[in-house]
A and B are shown apart, each in its own frame.
Chain A
């Protein structure tokens, strides 16, 4: 498997893989600025339900999106074992609350399968599926998860 990816180095992407509610997800590692532990966020009034609030990231005010809530999964109260992945895609800095970061994958474009058509919600946030050691890893479309500005969506 690794031999294949190395043959075609141009199309290989590094992806960060993580778990939410026993499911595996990933997105391009180039969007990640840092990974930090969960700290309680300050609640924002009139915010969408999936916005946990804002935290202080060395002086910057950064909103936290609860990915489980955003994807329509079961939402437990976060603990110190949860992880925030700080991302930046074209402008706003947004933290994503996940259960745990599991791996960093090198994946070639060919390995990404199209998302099968399913009726349930949440598939609009996926841009593909990757198979790794019998696990199905969902490739997230960050642009869809983090709207232009989270507050505007409210």
Chain B
């Protein structure tokens, strides 16, 4: 990867963060929290994107971001008040900016952005600006910054006061010098007030990266002599315009305010020639904070703008310090830790086999190793976990787009965006969620007239929520639309031969028909959804993540789709059992209880199947050994054990097995890489003795047995 490509990649990564910041800010504003810090953060985000985009000549982005920024600037200065209409335009602009950046990232050729024209017009209408000549006029409102570099030298009696004017020339950077170091050295001499003069900075586009535009004015109180001050600049003699002037021992800079966050002088920019504009970019964003915000808050006659709440007016927000790490490195580490866990288990087993006494040093040491290994594993897994926030923001955008395309007004509500899930899961969720959101807007919500007619507000609501629930993640998509039209679903399913005409189906069964392949309820195909590949694809992709999707619908009130997902794809709490001479693992999450077969509670049902009565209800018995082909079917009343399992669809079954061995956390190993999918098997794992054990997929096994509602539905399909 060339240097430019790397920078480009970094820009797009940072843009993602900035877009998130932008969306956050807009959300806050729509929540009525339009204080100036929020507006500022939104402005900064757009401004930074524009700056970066300019550096990579992404003209469409720059053009759009510029107009966007103008509106935000008007908001910031109070020329424009926040209202619903403005927010709507801002949100759509933010969406459009996201699209533009994605296009730029994916290398879509710049077509002058015709799609953005109407939005641009709307944005311009907001500021009342005529078609101005582009991002050229004084939009770079850099303010001279006061850098208070703190109390360096303790005040001493013989203090002198100097005024130092320092203006580096281009050659200063070319010879590898760095103003920050000089200023720092200067500050070390005494108490300094440093002013950076950025007035010479040109428009970002016109910026020559090799040139020097900044100059500094330093008010220095020091015990040192003028010679000592001059010595600081000894090595840049002739590379800068330097003026050192003694102004007497009186305080001059006392009236200058202390700025809470000082961006530039303490952040050493890279010592490349580009250092000057680098520093300028960094300074550009935070610099305007105190200016307009303070003035608008202080002007009583100003336009309606909330007085800043004190807590918000402190700009230094605790920024979580993060690093970007290549995902492959983390994956490699996770694999290695997985090996470590297996190795540790094998070691424990070997020690046990050799008859090492419990409580011996070796035993205690091993126990500690086990705890540590587990902790390492948890920590490594936590690295992969990420909040679903970015995903949810993307979904909000998709909902708005879908709303615009179908002409439905809707409100998107997200909850639990801080919920953390494995990154891979998040990535793989994007497609199915997109489809479900579009479906909810397209098929779920009614149009405004129908809604009003049924006594609802014209604006539909889509709710997207995430939460942790007993070791799993539950994501719900709820619409307040018409709910599933069961008669229509049923007749369509009959027409398409998905169910026999006389099938006895519960309401829930009918709702679940929409997950059948080839089912599509839209009476006409729309651009959004309705290609007939909808929900069955969603279901399959969720299942491939080890999750389940289900639906609950109430006619007239709306539908809720629930996705239940494992927290991670890498480990699983399992019960190690034996059946037909084979050791297999059953996910604990599916097991409700275990018991010896209560012989007198087992009843024959039909010719081949048996049920067991557990606390009054009858549960079908599934002979795992027979279903997996390990051995022929056995008499369930023999010497066996029952695992009562419940699948995510709520179907219960009694798995008939031989022996329960152990309960432990196992590392999931895919079978797909070298072999392929095996019916009834979710994955494989490696046991303590180094052998491979298969991990059962209880849902598939229960379905295989022909028990439960889901299986009834799939039978006609299987028969085709």
Q: Which residues of A contact B671 (CB under 8 A)?
A: 44, 54, 61, 151
Complex contact A45–B676 (CB within 8 A): no
**B582 contact from A42, A61, A93, Cβ within 8 A:** A42
Known: A42-B691, A42-B694, A45-B680. Is A54-B628 also a contact (CB below 8 A)? no
Q: Are A56 and B678 in contact (CB under 8 A)?
A: no
Docked-complex contact B673 and A151, CB < 8 angstroms: no
Bound Cα distance from A1 to B371, whole angstroms: 63
Contacts of B670 in A (CB 8 A): 61
Cα of A5 to Cα of B547 in the assembled complex, Å: 59
Number of interface residues of B (CB under 8 A): 29
- In the bound assembly, the distance between CA atoms of A92 and B670 in angstroms comes to 12
Q: Which among A45, A55, A58 is the interface contact of B629 at CB below 8 angstroms?
A: A45
Chain A residues touching B, range:
20 to 34
Instruction: Give the segment of B232-240, B334-342, B489-497, B653-661 that binds chain A.
Output: B334-342
Residue contact B669 to A45, C-beta cutoff 8 Å:
no
Contact with B along A50-79 (1 / 0, CB 8 A): 000111101111110000000000000000
- State whether the Cβ of A80 lies closer than 8 Å to any Cβ in chain B: no
In the complex, which residues of chain B have a beta carbon less than 8 angstroms from the beta carbon of A53? 692
A59 touching B679, Cβ below 8 Å? no
Q: Which of B577-609 contact A (CB under 8 A)?
A: 582-583
User: Residue on B with the closest CB to A151?
Assistant: B676
Q: Looking at the complex, which one of B335, B339, B342, B674 makes contact with A94 (CB distance below 8 Å)?
A: B674
The CA-CA distance from A93 to B583 in the complex, in Å, is 23
Establish whether residues B692 and A151, one from each chain, have CB atoms under 8 Å apart when the complex forms.
Answer: no
Residues of B within 8 A of A45 (CB): 628-630, 678-681, 694
For residue B431, give the distance in angstroms from its CB to the closest CB of chain A: 24
Q: Which residue of chain A has its CB nearest to the CB of B338?
A: A59
Cross-chain contact of B676 among A43, A60, A149 (Cβ < 8 A): A149
In the complex, the answer to whether A59 meets B694 with C-beta atoms within 8 Å is no
B570 to chain A, nearest CB (A): 13
Q: Does A154 contact B (CB under 8 A)?
A: yes
Give the complex CA separation of A92 and B339 in angstroms.
20
Q: Select from chain B the residue with minimum beta-carbon distance to A58.
A: B339
**Most chain A C-beta atoms within 10 Å of own C-beta, residue among B338, B675, B681, B692:** B675
Q: Report which of A43, A56, A93 forms a contact with B686, defined as CB distance below 8 A.
A: A56
Complex contacts, A150 vs chain B, CB 8 Å: 674-676
Partner of B693, one of A42, A58, A93, A151: A42
Interface centre among A62, A149, A152 (most CB of B within 10 A): A149
A59 touches B339 (CB 8 A): yes
By the criterion CB–CB under 8 Å, are A54 and B684 in contact?
Answer: yes
A43 to chain B, nearest CB (A): 6
Q: Is the beta-carbon distance between B690 and A44 smaller than 8 angstroms?
A: no
Q: A40-B691, A42-B693, A59-B686 are known contacts. Are A151 and B677 too (CB-CB below 8 A)?
A: yes
A9 in the interface (beta carbon within 8 A): no
Chain A 19-47 near chain B by CB (<8 Å), digits 1 or 0:
00000000000000000000011111111
Q: Mark A91-110, 1 if CB is under 8 A from B, else 0.
A: 01110000000000000000
- In the complex, chain A residues whose CB is within 8 Å of the CB of B335: 59
Contact of A151 among B342, B628, B678, B690 (CB under 8 A): B678
Within 8 A of A (CB), among B291-337: 335
Which residues of A have CB within 8 Å of B691?
Answer: 40, 42, 55-56
B582 to chain A, nearest CB (A): 6
B674 touches A60 (CB 8 A): yes
The chain B residue with its CB closest to the CB of A148 is B676
Cβ A61 vs Cβ B629 within 8 A:
no
In the complex, which residues of chain A have a beta carbon less than 8 angstroms from the beta carbon of B677? 151
Cα separation A149 to B673 with both chains bound (whole Å): 8
* Beta-carbon contacts under 8 Å, A77-135 to B: 92-94
Given A56-B691, A59-B339: A43 and B674 interface contact (C-beta under 8 Å): no
In the complex, A55 Cα to B679 Cα: how many Å? 19
CA–CA, A27 and B670, complex, Å: 28
Nearest CB in chain A to that of B689: its residue: A56
**Given A45-B628, A55-B692, A61-B669: A92 in contact with B675 (beta carbons within 8 A):** yes
Smallest CB-CB separation from B694: which chain A residue? A42
Looking across the interface, which residue of chain B has its beta carbon closest to that of A53?
B692
Q: In the docked arrangement, what's the CA distance between A94 and B674, Å?
A: 7
* Interface SS majority for chain A: loop
User: Which residues of B in the span 433-483 have a Cβ within 8 Å of any Cβ on A?
Assistant: none
Are A43 and B630 in contact, with the CB atoms below 8 A? yes
> What residues of chain B lie closer than 8 Å to A63, measured between beta carbons?
674-675
Would you give the shortest CB distance from B659 to chain A, in whole angstroms?
17
Q: How far is the CB of A51 from chain B (nearest CB, A)?
A: 8
Partner of A92, one of B629, B674, B679, B690: B674
- Tell me the bound Cα distance from A62 to B690 in angstroms: 13
Q: How far is the CA of A92 from the CA of B676 in the complex (A)?
A: 10
Closest to B687 in A: A56
Chain B positions within 8 Å of A93 at CB level: 673-674
Do the beta carbons of A61 and B678 come within 8 Å of each other? no
- In angstroms, Cα B447 to Cα A64, docked, is 59
Determine the distance from Cα of A60 to Cα of B66 in the docked complex, in whole angstroms.
53
A128 → chain B closest CB, angstroms: 27
Minimum CB–CB distance from B369 to chain A (whole Å) comes to 19
Given contacts A44-B694, A54-B692, A55-B692, contact A61 B628 (CB under 8 A): no
B690 partner, pick from A46, A47, A56, A152, beta carbons under 8 A: A56
Residue of A nearest to B677 (CB): A151
A46-B629, A55-B692 known; A61+B673 contact, CB < 8 A: yes
Q: How far is the CA of A92 from the CA of B675 in the complex (A)?
A: 7
What is the CA–CA distance of A61 and B674 in the complex, to the nearest angstrom?
7
Measured between beta carbons, the chain A residues less than 8 angstroms from B692 are 41-42, 53-56, 61
Closest residue on chain A to residue B683 by CB atoms: A61
**B589 → chain A closest CB, angstroms:** 22
Nearest-neighbor residue (CB-CB) of B582 within chain A: A43
By beta carbon, the residue of chain A nearest B685 is: A61
Chain B residue at smallest Cβ distance from A40 = B691
B678–A59 CB distance below 8 A = no
Q: Bound complex: CA of A93 vs CA of B674, how far in Å?
A: 5
Closest to B692 in A: A42
The distance from the CB of B347 to the nearest CB of chain A, in whole angstroms, is 15
Q: Which residues of A contact B678 (CB under 8 A)?
A: 44-47, 151, 154
Could you say which of A54, A59, A61 has the most chain B C-beta atoms within 10 Å of its C-beta? A61
- Chain B residues with CB under 8 Å of A152's CB are 676
Residues in B whose Cβ lies below 8 Å from that of A94: 674
The 9 lowest CB-CB distance pairs between A and B, nearest first, are A151-B676, A45-B628, A149-B676, A42-B692, A92-B674, A151-B675, A63-B675, A45-B629, A152-B676
Residues of B near any A CB (own CB < 8 A): 335, 338-339, 342, 582-583, 628-630, 669-681, 684, 686, 690-694
22 contacts between A and B (CB under 8 A): A41-B692, A42-B684, A42-B692, A42-B694, A44-B675, A44-B681, A45-B628, A45-B680, A54-B671, A54-B684, A56-B690, A59-B335, A59-B339, A59-B669, A61-B675, A92-B674, A92-B675, A93-B674, A94-B674, A150-B674, A151-B675, A154-B676
Interfacial residues, chain A to chain B (CB-CB below 8 A): 40-47, 53-56, 58-63, 92-94, 149-152, 154
Given A42-B693, A43-B630, A54-B692, 6 further pairs, Cβ under 8 A:
A41-B692, A42-B684, A45-B628, A63-B675, A92-B673, A149-B672
